[in-house]
Amino acid sequence: MMDLIKQASDHLRKSAYAIALTGAGISTESGIPDFRGPSGIWTKNPEAERKAYQRYEVFLANPATYWEERLSSPSLLGDLDRIAPNPGHHALAELERMGHLKTLITQNIDNLHQRAGSKQVLDYHGNESRLRCASCHARYEREEYGLEGLRREGRLPPLCKGCGGVVKLDTVHFGEPIPPDVAERSIEEVEKCDLMLICGTSAVVYPFASLPVMLKQRRGSAKAAIVEINAEPTPLTREGISDYLIQGKTGQILPQLVDEVKR
């Protein structure tokens, strides 16, 4: 494994524009379960999965009901205020500070990359700490809206301060399109990069999982390196999309990678 970490650190040092993609796996060491692993959220609670699939339809049909349900059920991920970034998040933030990592595209909604100090973060599936206008896509911090007060006064759903549109959680629900600004910027980052580090994702959720495939198929510019860091092989490993897999925990491997880059 150490050989592969050395190889990845060479790739990082030589790259002009490295980006990272992350998934639920990078946050398991912070105590947030993934979805479909042995102690995953859906594995333990199939009813919650069924409800999650309906959430976007409820929002479209009746945003007030959607908000009543959101405010009366706790976050599936647990109490995020009591959860802290782990060494994997900190290592990626440090790589950005050192100038080695330009952007991070995450599927996670937990805000832990930002809390670890990463600045250039694209929340591909939104962020639990924010709200988003379904019409103009403006983002708002949750606190800006006094949601409990609106609920007491019977004034749900919250409306956009810019355009008056209906506001939802920023989190992207099943069946909901990826917000167009984030989708476009992610593609731009993939087009620019010469190294992609893919950390803690099973790479089965689309369209996120198409980003590495897009890079592999990119034409015209020099070939980019694609490196996976994950507890297990994924379709990207098996289909030869990634050049190699460093198999293990992101909370252990990423700090070792930082040490190696610093040597």
Q: Which of ligand NAD, Zn ion, none does 111 bind, CB closer than 5 to 8 A by kind?
A: none
Contact between 19 and 196 (Cβ < 8 Å): yes
CA–CA separation, 154 and 232 (whole Å): 48
How many residues of this chain interact with ligand NAD, rule: CB under 6 A? 29
Active site includes 137? Answer: no
CB 109, min distance to ligand NAD, A: 4
Of 89, 84, 159, 173, nearest to 126 by C-alpha is 173
DSSP 8-class letter at 243: S
CB 14, min distance to ligand NAD, A: 25
Of 34, 66, 63, nearest to 51 by C-alpha is 66
Give DSSP secondary structure letters for 104-133. EEE---S-HHHHHT--SEEETT--TTEEEE
Of 110 and 170, which CB lies nearer to ligand NAD in the complex structure?
Answer: 110
Of 131-139, 147-155, 184-192, 231-239, the window that binds ligand NAD (rule: CB under 6 A) is 231-239
Of 25, 22, 26, 9, nearest to 225 by C-alpha is 9
Helix (H, G, I), strand (E, B) or coil at 179: coil
- Strand order from edge to edge, sheet including 18-22: 121-123, 103-106, 18-22, 195-199, 225-230, 244-247
Positive or negative, the CA dihedral 139, 20, 216, 175 is negative
Q: Which of ligand NAD, Zn ion, none does 136 bind, CB closer than 5 to 8 A by kind?
A: Zn ion
Structure tokens at 195: 């190294």
Of 223, 153, 205, 214, nearest to 184 by C-alpha is 214
CA–CA separation, 263 and 231 (whole Å): 26
Q: Which of ligand NAD, Zn ion, none does 163 bind, CB closer than 5 to 8 A by kind?
A: Zn ion
CA–CA separation, 34 and 54 (whole Å): 20
CB 182, min distance to ligand NAD, A: 12
Site string for Zn ion, 174-213 (x = CB under 5 A): ----------------------------------------
CB 131, min distance to ligand NAD, A: 17
- Binding positions for Zn ion, 134-173, rule CB under 5 A: 135-136, 138, 160, 162-163, 165
Of 89-97, 105-113, 153-161, 174-182, the window that binds ligand NAD (rule: CB under 6 A) is 105-113
CB 221, min distance to ligand NAD, A: 27
Q: Which of Zn ion, ligand NAD, none does 96 bind, CB closer than 5 to 8 A by kind?
A: none
Out of 23, 63, 85, 87, point to the residue binding ligand NAD (CB under 6 A): 23
Out of 9, 103, 118, 201, point to the residue binding ligand NAD (CB under 6 A): 201
Residue 34 interacting with ligand NAD (CB under 6 A): yes
Catalytic residue among 11, 89, 125, 173: 125
Residue 77 interacting with ligand NAD (CB under 6 A): yes
Q: Active-site residue numbers? A: 125
